[in-house]
Each structure stands twice: as C-alpha cells, then as structure tokens.
Structure 1
Amino acid sequence: MDEAMEKRWRELSEEVLSGMKEWRLAHPKATLREIEEAASERMSRLEAQLVQGTALASSQRKWSQLPEEEQPRCRVCELLLRERGEHARKLQGKGGKEITLKRQYGTCPLCGVGLFPPG
C-alpha cells in the first residue's frame, strides 16, 4: 500500500467520525435503527475504498509480469492467457457502493475465453 492510499483511508475515517457526530447533533431523538442506518451508510463508503485500494494493490493487477507459474490460465483449455490490455470493471460492493478495479484482461489463445483476474 502506498502513502497516498493510507492518507485517503485516514481522511475517509475522519469523515465517517465527524459525519456521525454531525448527524447525531442534527438527529437527537433518532432511534437505534436510524443510528445504525446512518453509521452503515458512512461505513460503506469507507469499506468500498478499503476494498478497492486493497484489490488495486494486488499482484494480480499486472499478472503478465508475474512468473509463468503464477499467471492465470484459461479455465477451459488451461493455457496461459494472452494479455489484452488493462480494463476497468465497475462492481457493486457489499454496502451498495461502487468499486472500480483496473486489471490486465486476458484471453485464451486457443478458445478465446476472456478473463478479468480476481484478487
């Protein structure tokens, strides 16, 4: 993980804490369920950034630079994939927040099956 990513995570953590404090001041009679929902909404933003940042730090992001035995293979033919450039994929995190992953995309040289490696 790089320092910029850690700094962003700290900033988001502070936003969660200060946001909850402000929310509570604005909602002094909130029920426990309302408090949980407000906390969950704020935490889901932080969670999405933690998941995205951690995934982007994965060695699988640039798999063509890995030793051959660690590179992804076709699930059908079991051949090493051919790198087809870096692609972005937008996913929905557990809390409903968008997570964008950039990975090298690969295709099988024999059957053409494509793979956007996980991790």
Structure 2
Amino acid sequence: MASWPVFSSWACYINPLNALVIGMFPDCPPEKIRAVGNAAGDGARLALRSLEKRQEARNIARQVHLVETSLEPDFQEQFVQAMAFPHGRDAFPNLNHILKLIPTWKLPGRICRP
C-alpha cells in the first residue's frame, strides 16, 4: 500500500511510532501513516451538495461485500492472537530500531519489556 490513511477526526493526534508499537497498523514505515481527518463528515457534505456524488456513493455501496466474521471457522483464534502486541509474535522489521530503544529485562525463558 502506498500509505495507511487514518480516517477519523482524532487521526491528527496519533503518533505513528506509538501506533505501530501497539499494533494499530501492520508493519510499515511510520512515514506511510497519514491522517485524513473526518472523511465521513466530508463525504456526507459532498453527498448532500451534489446529486452526482450521491449517485457515486450509491454505486460504491452496491459493490461492498460483507464478510460475516462469526461464520469464519478460525476467526476467534485469529482475533485473540491479533490482540497481543504484534511484535511479540511476528517480525516487524520497521519497528526493530524502535524496539531496540525500549529497555528489556530477562525472565526465565523470555525477554520482557516494561
């Protein structure tokens, strides 16, 4: 993906590095994360002001495909695994330089971070 847009009015307040560390985004360079702002509000205003944009929104809505996650056999397992900090299980190469700065201590059989 060229960038990871964050569509939300609070998007401007997200620190991309912190968001990566806690797993808000898949592993990517932090500079690829960009705030879009209140895209829903902007889209609603466009649809209210323009019949053409309203029709465009209808056409896009018809192409949406719903994925019912509760019907997926391994959804619950995948969901629970994804709740952990991502770099605890999977390699996140774009975070390596950040994670090396976080102090660590050793417990038998594992390395812990505060």
TM-score of the aligned structures, taking structure 1 as reference length: 0.22
Greater fraction of residues in strand: 1
